[in-house]
Each structure stands twice: as structure tokens, then as C-alpha cells.
Amino acid sequence: MLGKKLVTAQKRGETRALCLGLGMVACSMMMYFFIGITIVPFYTKSVWTTETVCKVLKANIKDKVLCPNSEGSEDEDIFHYPCLQVWVNLTASGQEVMLYQTEDTLERNPKCSYVPSNSENSKEVKAQIETIASNFKKYQTFPCYYDPGGTQTNVILSRLYPPKGLLFTFLWPTLMFTGGCLIIVLVKISQYVSVLSAWQ
């Protein structure tokens, strides 16, 4: 009687462990799919893939020309802010090009090098942009990214999804997938050993 209870408990434990392993594998596959349709396209679409050194030529703030956050929207939805324009000397080609913070900055507003987040405090936004401009003037030389193919003549300060960041994004679903597969394999080995011992 006690042996039957132990066998039943063992089967229940194996079933639960098998369900856990299958659930982990299913969740990891869903995470892979989500990453593949959201982050990977942005990474592959980016043409600023080569790192070089940029030297600041000028960093100007146009106080009288306020840039809209988005074009084609209603006037009350437009967020105005001082337009910071940073021009750098590209070491790789020696050209004078405009610097943008990320790929998204160029899409949101090609006239400005930096697009702040929406804020109702205009003084805070202005102080933030002035601080960024002073940092560019203070640190004249810094790494940046350019397009080796020449389709984009401008440069960006940092990539939204660098290779290391993309690998780190795939790390967690990979660990979950590996753990799920390991649990399934261990359950199958346990079942095989149980059948083998019972046969003997």
C-alpha cells in the first residue's frame, strides 16, 4: 500500500515537473517571438553600425526657433522646446556632419540633435538642454556611430539597440528555454530509470 502511494506521488511530481518544463519552453518561445517582431527590426534597420571618433565643431541652441515634437499633430498636442544643434567633425571621412542622440531622434525631429521628453516645465527643459550643450563643449572628442554605406551623412551618439544590448535581451529567454529543456530531460531520465528498475 505504501509502495503504491510512493509511486503515485512520484508520478504526480514528474507530471508537475514536466508541465513546468514545457511551460518554460513555451514562455521562452513567446519571448523570442516578441523580441523578433519588436526589437530585431529596429536593430537591423539601423545603418549607423560603425564606431568612430567625433570632434565637436559647434553646439548652438536656437532659443527663438522652437521645434515641434511631432509634425501634423494638433497645436495643443505639440510640445515646443529649444532646438539644440551639434555639428561634429567625422574622423573617418573628415566631413562636417550633424550629430543626433539616437536613431529615434532623427525620425522625431531632423532639425535638432536632442529631443527631450514631454514636460510642462519649460524652464526645466531649457536647463537640461543647456547642460547637454555645455557638456558637448566641455568634452570635445567622444565616440559616435556613422553609416559606412553612405546612405546617411549624419552621425548618432548612441544606438538604441547595440549588439551587446541585443545579446542581453536574448539572454533571459535563452536561460528559460535551457532550464525548461533540462527539466524535461531530467524527468524523462527519471521515468526511464524507474521503468528500468521496475523491469529488473
Residue 7: φ, ψ to 5°: -65, -40
What is the rounded CA–CA span in Å between residue 72 and residue 188?
60
Helix (H, G, I), strand (E, B) or coil at 138: helix
Shortest CA distance to 70 belongs to which of 124, 128, 118?
118
Res 139: pLDDT: 85
Res 66: pLDDT: 53
Residue 159: φ, ψ to 5°: -85, 145
DSSP result, 74-98: -GGGPPPEEEEEEEEEETTT--EEE
What is the rounded CA–CA span in Å between residue 163 and residue 44?
10
| Cβ neighbours of residue 67 closer than 8 Å, sequence gap 6 or more | 80, 81, 83, 109, 111, 112
Give the other-Cβ count within 10 Å of 190's Cβ.
Answer: 15
Adjacent-strand bridge partners of 52: 144
Res 65: pLDDT: 47
Res 63: pLDDT: 67
Task: Indicate whether this model's pTM tops 0.85.
Answer: no
Helix (H, G, I), strand (E, B) or coil at 109: coil
| Tens-digit pLDDT string for the chain (200 aa) | 544 554 565 677 778 888 899 999 999 999 999 998 888 888 888 889 888 899 999 888 876 545 554 444 444 445 678 888 999 998 767 788 999 999 888 888 888 899 887 666 778 888 888 899 898 888 889 999 998 887 888 999 998 888 888 888 899 999 999 999 999 999 888 878 777 776 76
Res 200: pLDDT: 63
What is the rounded CA–CA span in Å between residue 88 and residue 77?
32
Pairing verdict, β 96-100 and 155-156: parallel
Residue 10: φ, ψ to 5°: -65, -40
Helix (H, G, I), strand (E, B) or coil at 6: helix
Residue given cell 566641455 in the structure block? 138
